[in-house]
């Protein structure tokens, strides 16, 4: 019997599902999942505004270019621009008025929704939209940016996944119901770093190699102006502690489905090492640590208890979400 054609590499499953999910005009993403971008308190996007404001004060420019990739319905942009206005008012500055904000996504319906939302809130004069498929790094048009921000984009890009059993390499293949079917693979499919990572980490754990996310990050970072930076927020793994989950549970929860769309953990070890190997500055920290750092003065403000998105006093049910969310900060070499 030949190989089962309904069992495919993870990247094939993700590409097919995610393209049709996000590009459909009937998709309503926030009925299917929550992200930190649209939590009612907007802590993550407000923390970003605080950081940006502080940086813009340090390196003032007539025009600050901000680019967001993977924009959803515009909440991450909206909270950021509104918080900049608030900070300007409180500090007597005019940074918000010098921001030009580009919304970038491969989904026209998402871009349209985000644009409409921002226009309604009075930001039409300072936004632009650009269609770009982040899984095709080479198609990124050249631009210059001072601040690039991405929340939960890269975990949606097609990725391949492998596991090691002793000396044997297995590729993680999936059926349509997300059943895992490890299949023998050739070590030559991997580069040196990928091979090393599989031997450095415990065996029997399926590891995603987010190659398209890596290439996309390489392309984005090339567009940073001097003093510019790129921030990625997403769920995934980085710390040794993340591997305290038994491999069977890890392997079952690495890929998740939200109304036909598949998302995979981001391998922050892989991405940060890849960026560093190209000479870029790359640093990973817990997302919660980032928010607490930049919103320290707001520590007393408690989020709405029903949001399910809570950095301050998580209930056991929230803990897991916070634990596996990371922030990758990237600055261009030179
Ligand atoms: C999980 S949503 C996150 C939206 C928003 N950043 C948030 O946090 O609420 C993923 C976003 O990335 C976009 N996206 C997914 N795959 C993409 C790709 N290959 N290229 C560009 N955008 C993509 C989707 O259209 C969607 O807007």
| Average pLDDT rounded to a whole number, residues 240-254 | 93
What contacts 24+ positions apart, CB below 8 Å, involve 54-62? 55/147, 55/227, 55/229, 56/95, 56/98, 56/146, 57/93, 57/95, 59/227, 61/98, 61/146, 62/98
Chain-wide mean pLDDT for the chain?
A: 89
The answer to whether 268 touches 237, Cβ cutoff 8 Å, is yes
Tell me the per-residue pLDDT of 45-62, one tens digit each, with 9 for 90 and over: 999 999 999 999 999 999
The answer to whether 45 touches 71, Cβ cutoff 8 Å, is no
Question: How many angstroms is it from 213 CA to the middle of ligand 1?
Answer: 12
Q: What is the pLDDT of residue 25?
A: 86
Token duo for residue 262: 């598949």
Q: Does residue 309 register a pLDDT over 70?
A: no
Which of 43, 105, 211 has the most ligand 1 atoms within 8 A of CB, as the residue to mutate? 105
Q: Where are the beta strands (DSSP E) in the chain?
A: 8-9, 64-69, 99-105, 127-131, 145-151, 160-165, 168-174, 180-184, 207-209, 224-237, 255-258, 261-264, 266-267, 281-286, 325-331
- 33-159+207-249+259-331: CATH topology: Rossmann fold (3.40.50)
Tell me the per-residue pLDDT of 20-32, one tens digit each, with 9 for 90 and over: 899 988 888 778 7
Tell me the per-residue pLDDT of 209-220, one tens digit each, with 9 for 90 and over: 999 999 999 999
CA dihedral 108, 216, 170, 175 (to 10 degrees): 0
Is the CB–ligand 1 distance for residue 68 below 6 Å?
no
Question: How many angstroms is it from 112 CA to the middle of ligand 1?
Answer: 13
Which of 36, 72, 210 has the most ligand 1 atoms within 8 A of CB, as the residue to mutate? 72
pTM: 0.92
């Amino acid at each position: 019997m030949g190989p089962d054609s309904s069992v495919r590499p993870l990247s094939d499953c993700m590409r097919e599902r995610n393209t049709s999910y996000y590009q459909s005009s009937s998709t309503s993403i926030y009925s299917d999942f929550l992200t930190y971008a649209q939590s009612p308190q907007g802590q993550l996007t407000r923390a970003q505004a605080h950081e940006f404001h502080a940086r813009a004060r340090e390196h003032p420019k007539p025009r600050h270019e901000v680019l967001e990739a993977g924009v959803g319905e515009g909440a991450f942009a909206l909270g950021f621009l509104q918080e900049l206005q608030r900070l300007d008012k409180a500090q007597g500055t005019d940074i918000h008025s010098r921001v030009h904000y580009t919304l970038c996504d491969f989904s026209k319906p998402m871009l349209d929704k985000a644009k409409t939302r921002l226009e309604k809130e009075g930001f039409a004069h300072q936004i632009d939209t650009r269609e770009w498929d982040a899984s095709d790094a080479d198609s990124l048009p050249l631009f210059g940016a001072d601040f690039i921000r991405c929340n939960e984009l890269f975990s949606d890009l097609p990725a391949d996944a492998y596991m090691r059993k002793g000396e044997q390499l297995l590729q993680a293949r999936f059926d349509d119901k997300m059943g895992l079917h490890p299949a023998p693979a050739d070590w030559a499919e991997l580069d040196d770093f990928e091979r090393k990572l599989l031997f450095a980490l415990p065996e029997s754990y399926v590891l995603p190699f987010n190659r398209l996310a890596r290439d996309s990050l390489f392309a984005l970072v090339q567009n940073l102006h001097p003093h510019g930076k790129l921030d990625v927020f997403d769920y995934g793994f980085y710390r040794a502690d993340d591997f305290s989950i038994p491999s069977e549970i890890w392997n079952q929860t690495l890929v998740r489905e939200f109304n036909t769309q598949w998302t995979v953990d981001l391998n922050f070890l892989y991405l940060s090492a890849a960026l560093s190997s190209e000479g870029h500055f790359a640093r990973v920290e817990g997302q919660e640590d980032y928010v607490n750092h930049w919103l320290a003065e707001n520590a007393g403000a408690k989020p709405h208890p029903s949001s399910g998105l809570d950095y301050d006093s998580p209930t056991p049910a929230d803990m897991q979400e916070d634990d596996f969310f990371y922030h990758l900060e990237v600055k261009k070499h030179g």
